[in-house]
Each structure stands twice: as C-alpha cells, then as structure tokens.
Chains A and B, each alone.
Chain A
Amino acid sequence: MDLFWAQLPQQIINGLTLGAVYALIALGYSMVYGVLQLLNFAHGDVYMIGAFIGFGIMTALLPDKGDPLLASPLIILLMLMAAILGCGVLGIGIEWFAYRPLRSSPRLAALISALGVSFFIQNAIQLTLGAKFRSYRGDALIPPTLGWDIGSARLSAVRLLTIAVAVLMMIGLTYLVRRTRLGRAMRAVALDREAAAMMGVDVDQVIVATFFIGSALAGVAGVLTGIVFTRIWHSMGFTAGLKGFTAAVVGGIGNIPGAMLGGFLLGLVEAFATGFISSTYKDVIAFMVLVLVLLIRPRGLLGAAVLKKV
C-alpha cells in the first residue's frame, strides 16, 4: 500500500500528460460531431500529420550536427504554429473534398467516406515517407534535467509544457465558443442547422471554421506527442484517434468541457493501468472504462439526454 501512495503523484503527472494529448484530440472529434453529427475517422490521421509537420520543422531548424538555428523555445513555437496551420488547412481540405458532397446523404455514407480518407492519408504517408519509426529529439529541445521534484514525484519541464499548452488551448477554445460571434454561430449550428441558417448564420463558414479549429488542435496534440513521447510513425493516428474518440464519448460527444474531462480521465486511467497493473493491458482497461461509462450513462458523463422528437 505504501508503494501505491509513493507512486501515485508520479502516475497522476503521467496521466495528466497523456490526458492532455487525448483531450486535444477529443476536442476536434467532439466539435465536428457537434456541428455535423459525423464521426470524423480521419481525425487521428490529421493528428499524425501534425506530428510529422513538427518533425519536419524540427529537423530543418535543429541540425544533427552543429548549432541550432534558433533558440529552442522559438523552435517549439514554430513547430506548433506550423502544425496548427498545416493541419487546419488539411482539415478544411478533407471537409471540402470528402464530406461536403455528402452533406445530405445518409450518415453511413459520410462515415465510410471518412474511413476512406483515413486510409488514404495513412498510406500516402507510408508511400512517401516510409513505414519506419522516427524520433523527435526532445532532449535537444528541452533538456531532460530541467524539472521540479514534488515529493516523490518529478514534474519534468516537457510534461509541464505539454499540460500547459493543452490547458491554454482549452481556455482559448472555451473563450471562443462562449464569448465570440463565431462561437455563438457554432453553438447555433450544433443545436439546429436549419434554424441557424434561417437566422442568417453562414452554415458552411461555421463548418469550415470548426474543421480548422478541430484539426489545428489535433496538430498541436501531434507535436506535443512528439516532444514528450518522441516516437512517431505513419499509423500512430489510428490508436490515438480511437482513444480521442473514446475520450469524447466518455465525456459526452458534442460537449466541449466533456471532451476535456474525458481526455484527462482516460489519460489517468491509462497511466494508473500502466503503473499499477500492466502496460500491455492499458488499452484493454481503457476500453473497459468506456463500456462501463456508457452502460451507466449512455450519453457520456456530461452529455445531456436528448429527446428525439418525430
């Protein structure tokens, strides 16, 4: 039991780091689902592209031999900006080519189309960049010695950065959705697309903005994953997308605070499973939690019960 208490703070830190990444992915899923009722299966692959964009910027600015071209905080900032821009544009492109023509089709059609996009992106990356693992040079960006000891646990600077960036993004998103014109339009479209259109909301524009923001968040998650966990590869998006979706569902899909809560919760569950049970079964345990939550609250933790009117 003593061992448990000694390990607990460290596992909480690990869980929050992992959870920050999951929450960022879950937000994109949840936002898109909110406005379009579409499961964007390609979201995980957007996240993967974000990780690769960050990798590209890093390799360009941080040569293997010789001095870095910029200070490392600046490099990280540039990586994040590039991933936000690149993934945002990619998200808009996916919506434009694969989902927009299917706006009025049955939902299954859009879902299958999303599966197709996911498959395409994954294999396009495998074709052009190969199937091998690549490693972020996280040590060179942030020295691993930097960090703080809190009791028995250690909060390294990398983990703090990940959590801080994610929380910052979430605060920004909450402000955007709650306080701005665009946010109000997004909520209106999510509530009732036709009524919103009749009230003068440009629905297409709102959907494009939603895809941009959601995909940009996934891109940030990709870069953060690279910095903290270092390894990236062409099919990393599949499992991560599944986890992000699980987090969104646990929190109540379509619900933005729910996605954050679900993400952090899933991260904590996984960290505890890894730390106290076995790392091989962390996915199994995470999935069990999903089923359990859904059995007790079929609409997720924060999801409101929806009455279907006919």
Chain B
Amino acid sequence: MEKFGRDEWVAQIEGRRKARGPWLRLAEQWQRVPLGLRFALFIILAAAVPLATDNDYVIRVAGNFVLYSILALGLNLVVGYAGLLDLGYVAFYGLGGYAYAYLSSDFSGLHWPTWASIPLVMFLTALVGLLLGSTSLRLLGDYLAIVTLGFGQIFVQLTNNMTRISLPGRAEPVDLTGGPNGIVNIDPISFLGFSASTVTHYYYLLLALLALILIVVYHLNNSRVGRAWRSLREDELAAEAMGMPTRWLKLLAFAIGAGIAGLSGSVFAAWQGNVFPNNFDVTLLILLYTMVILGGMGSLPGVVMGAFILSVMPEVLREVELSRYLFYGGMLFVLATMIRPWPRLVLVLVGVLVGGYLLKLAVMALWPTLVTTPEVASSFLGRALQAWLIIPPQATLIGNLAFVVVVPSLLFLSRTRYTIVRLIALIPTLYLLAFVWETRLAVEPSITRLLLLGVLLVVLMIYRPQGLLGQRRVEII
C-alpha cells in the first residue's frame, strides 16, 4: 500500500506515553540531557581509552569503531536524512583511500603534504558523488539503488584490473592501481611538523574527526537544508509542491556523504599504510548499512551505538570462551522474552539440560565409540558443555548436517501457533543448536559473524524496523 504521510512528532508523543517501568523512565531521563552534552561525555570517555590501556590491539579496535562511526554517520546522512538508497557508498570510501594513496606514496612518486592532499581528496570524492548523483537522480528509488550498487562493483573491478593501461604518450602500459596487490607504503598523516605514527596518534586523530563530523552533521540536520531533506524523505511529491529544489537537495546529500566517505578513506589509507581492492567490497557496505539500521536510521546516538556494537562484537566473537558466554546468554535472553509464563521456560530449559545429559549417558553406555573426549576447556561453561554435549568423531560433517536441520526447524518454530507443540519441539532443536555452535559456528568465527549479520538484519526489520534508538513513525492518512 502506498504510504501517504508519517509524522515524527506524533510517534514521539505516542512512544513517550508508552514509556513505563524504571528502565524506560531512566532512558527517558537520559533523553532529556542535551545531545551535545551526551556526545561530549562520550568523546571524553572514548579519549580516556588509550590512558586506561597500552595494549595496541584494544586501541586499534577502538580506532576501528571510531572510523566506522564516521563512515556510518556519512551514510546516515544520505540514507537516513535524505532517504536516498545509496549502495555505492563504499566506493567513495575506496576512492578516498586510493586517491590519498596516489597522492602520497612511492607508487606515483608524489608526496603531497597532508594539508593539501586531504582537502583535494574530499573535493574529488564529493565531485564524483555529484556526477554519479546527477546521472542517476532522474531514476526512482530502486533504480538509484541498483545504479549505485553497480558503481560500487565497477570500482572494485577497476581497482583489481587497471594494471596494464595504455596511456597516450607512453610506450609501455601503465599500472594505475596496483591490482589485487594494492598500493603499499603510504605516507602517514602529517601537519605542522607533527607526523602521526602510532595507533594512539591515529586514534586521537579519528576521535577529533568524529567530534567534528558529529557537530557538522548535527547542525546540518537542524538547519534549513536538514529540514528540507527530511521532508524530501517523507514525501518527495509534497516537498516539490512546496517549492523545494528536490534535485539540488538530493545532489547535496550525495556529495556531502561522498565527501565524508572520501575523508575517512584517506585517513584509513594513511593509518593502514596500504589499500587493497577488497578493503572496499560489499561486505563492508552491508556492515555499514547494518550499523545505521541497527542503531536507528536518522538518530545520531543510534548510529554511533550501531557502529560500536557491530565493530566490537566481532572482536569479542574471536575469543572462544567469550563468544560462548555471549551466545548462550543471548539464547537465554531470547527464550526468556519469547516464552511466557515462566514455568514453561523452566520446563524447556530443564528438558534441554536433563534430556541432553540422559542422551549423553545413554550413548556412552551403548555406543562409546561415538563420543570423543576433547581437551578440557578453561572456563566453567566450557567444562559444563563438555559434560553435557556429545561430540562425535566426525564433528564437522555431523555439525553441517545438524546446521541444515536446525535452520528450517528454528524458522518453523518461530512461526507456529501451537504452544505445546512448540515447547516440546523446542527441546531437541535447542540441543541441536548448541551442538551446531560448538562444532561449526564457534570454529568459523569469520563466517559466523556474517551469518549472524544476515539474521540480525531480517529479525530487526521484522521486530524493530526503526532500530534500537530510532523513532517509530506513525502513519497518518
């Protein structure tokens, strides 16, 4: 059905009326604190990270989070404010990275000073954004999405392949991008005689950039242009009828978003010291979209929070023990919210635990060769799982089979109406899920991360399309 109007104000009032309970009230109190103050607090807290630890890895993760926040803020401006589905955003990031690398490395022989190269890179990416925008803005929403997605793909293809280009005036073909080997040994950022060399330097640099961009984006959103963008997002036809220059507004959003991406791309290139085509692929695009959507499209604290969750969580998942706690804790939380009243929840949990233990005892008594004894885990939870779960010799193969069984059964259980059937069927499913986690998902953290990202997107869209901190919109017809 065609949506006619959505009103943020009505939704806000309605949401406020619904805020009950101590947590929600606390959250509301927190909402009353001015946004600037909240962000100042956040920046101060973030700035204390390198003081609290001298572990480079932790600071690097924190720096990645800040970088992702900047990128997500730029994307939020295009998608969340102006409502343009730009799937080529990562290409602008890559363009910034490559342009900076080109201007300041041995690859081209140019070594421009930072104060000249970064503004030029920003201008360049914004210009490309403007060009791409102007060709595709005649297109309606979905067409824009596909053209920009194509642009992103082309960028990766070109950087991978432009290694032998014949230029007029040169006899030999020229390598323009370094191909899959990328461009290496990029100059660090330096200004006023100071050259950023350690992770901590870049961390503070990124944090300062984040603060700057937060201020810019906040004021932009509350300006005349920001209001125009929002009206454009809600109803383009009405906006145009009110005399808004919709074409220019869209182009502006596109160009500013591209500029921010280009800026973060050049800082990324300087920080890493090298750029490769696969730094800028679709996975990153999906990750950025998930950040913006998880936190709440259009909400600045939401976007930063989304970036935090999705950049720190994968690092946590790398640790087997930590990820184990996270996974089983998350499972328990989901069960507790889904199954009510609580005696049923207890029934299911006891059923899984006792049933699993009995199964293990039975199998050990009847077919002892089917059970292997893994090395003793370090944590309590790990040891408890070892006592409870059967790990057969061909764990990978059986884990894969269990995965194939578990996915459809979980899906069906999420859509059945018969609670008793659901409860009984849940017991073996949960057991299998634990089995799949231990044998496959915990073993392949990088695939698991992407798998969970996909699930998160679908579930989020179904249950909370506005994101964690986003505002629900109410239809007024």
A residues in contact (CB < 8 Å) with B: 33, 39, 93, 96-98, 101-102, 104-113, 115-124, 126-128, 193-194, 238-239, 242, 245-246, 249, 253, 280-281, 283-284, 287, 290-291, 294-295, 298, 308, 310
Q: Does B30 contact A (CB under 8 A)?
A: no
* 21 A-B contact pairs sorted by A residue (CB < 8 Å): A39-B146, A93-B408, A97-B415, A97-B458, A104-B1, A110-B461, A113-B461, A119-B286, A119-B453, A119-B457, A123-B454, A127-B447, A128-B400, A239-B153, A246-B150, A249-B146, A284-B158, A290-B147, A294-B139, A295-B138, A298-B138
| Residues of chain B lying within 8 A (CB to CB) of residue A239 | 153
Contact of B289 among A115, A124, A280 (CB under 8 A): A115
B residues in contact (CB < 8 Å) with A: 1, 3, 85, 135-136, 138-143, 145-147, 149-151, 153-154, 157-158, 161, 237, 282, 286, 289, 293, 400, 403-404, 407-408, 411, 414-415, 440-441, 444, 447-448, 450-451, 453-458, 461-462, 465
Give bound CA distance, A130 to B186, whole Å.
35
User: Given contacts A118-B454, A127-B403, A284-B157, are A101 and B3 in contact (CB under 8 A)?
Assistant: no
Q: Tell me the smallest distance from the CB of B290 to a CB of chain A, in Å.
A: 8
Q: Tell me the smallest distance from the CB of B313 to a CB of chain A, in Å.
A: 16
| Residues of chain B lying within 8 A (CB to CB) of residue A253 | 142
B403 touches A124 (CB 8 A): yes
| Residues of chain B lying within 8 A (CB to CB) of residue A109 | 461, 465
Considering only CB atoms, which chain B residue lies closest to A300 in the complex? B143
B139 touches A298 (CB 8 A): yes
Contact of A123 among B135, B447, B457 (CB under 8 A): B447
Q: Tell me the smallest distance from the CB of B149 to a CB of chain A, in Å.
A: 7
User: Given contacts A127-B403, A308-B237, are A120 and B458 in contact (CB under 8 A)?
Assistant: yes
Q: Tell me the smallest distance from the CB of B422 to a CB of chain A, in Å.
A: 16
The 5 A-B residue pairs with the shortest CB-CB distance, nearest first, are A116-B457, A120-B454, A119-B454, A116-B458, A113-B461
| Residues of chain A lying within 8 A (CB to CB) of residue B400 | 127-128
A111 touches B145 (CB 8 A): yes
Give bound CA distance, A96 to B414, whole Å.
12
Give bound CA distance, A193 to B2, whole Å.
11
Considering only CB atoms, which chain B residue lies closest to A117 in the complex? B458
B450 touches A123 (CB 8 A): yes
B150 touches A242 (CB 8 A): yes
A284 touches B237 (CB 8 A): no
A245 touches B146 (CB 8 A): yes
A124 touches B150 (CB 8 A): no
Q: Tell me the smallest distance from the CB of B471 to a CB of chain A, in Å.
A: 13
B465 touches A106 (CB 8 A): yes
Q: Tell me the smallest distance from the CB of B92 to a CB of chain A, in Å.
A: 17
Considering only CB atoms, which chain B residue lies closest to A37 in the complex? B142
Give bound CA distance, A128 to B404, whole Å.
8
Give bound CA distance, A110 to B185, whole Å.
43
Considering only CB atoms, which chain A residue lies closest to B282 in the complex? A238
A246 touches B146 (CB 8 A): yes
A39 touches B142 (CB 8 A): yes
Considering only CB atoms, which chain B residue lies closest to A292 in the complex? B135
Considering only CB atoms, which chain B residue lies closest to A127 in the complex? B447
| Residues of chain A lying within 8 A (CB to CB) of residue B85 | 108, 111
B461 touches A116 (CB 8 A): yes
Give bound CA distance, A281 to B414, whole Å.
45
| Residues of chain B lying within 8 A (CB to CB) of residue A283 | 153-154, 157
User: Given contacts A96-B415, A308-B237, are A112 and B457 in contact (CB under 8 A)?
Assistant: yes
Q: Tell me the smallest distance from the CB of B78 to a CB of chain A, in Å.
A: 13
| Residues of chain A lying within 8 A (CB to CB) of residue B136 | 291, 294
Contact of A194 among B1, B141, B151, B456 (CB under 8 A): B1
| Residues of chain A lying within 8 A (CB to CB) of residue B415 | 96-97
Considering only CB atoms, which chain B residue lies closest to A129 in the complex? B400
| Residues of chain A lying within 8 A (CB to CB) of residue B440 | 127-128
Q: Tell me the smallest distance from the CB of A252 to a CB of chain B, in Å.
A: 11
Give bound CA distance, A112 to B411, whole Å.
19
Considering only CB atoms, which chain A residue lies closest to B459 in the complex? A116
| Residues of chain A lying within 8 A (CB to CB) of residue B411 | 93, 97
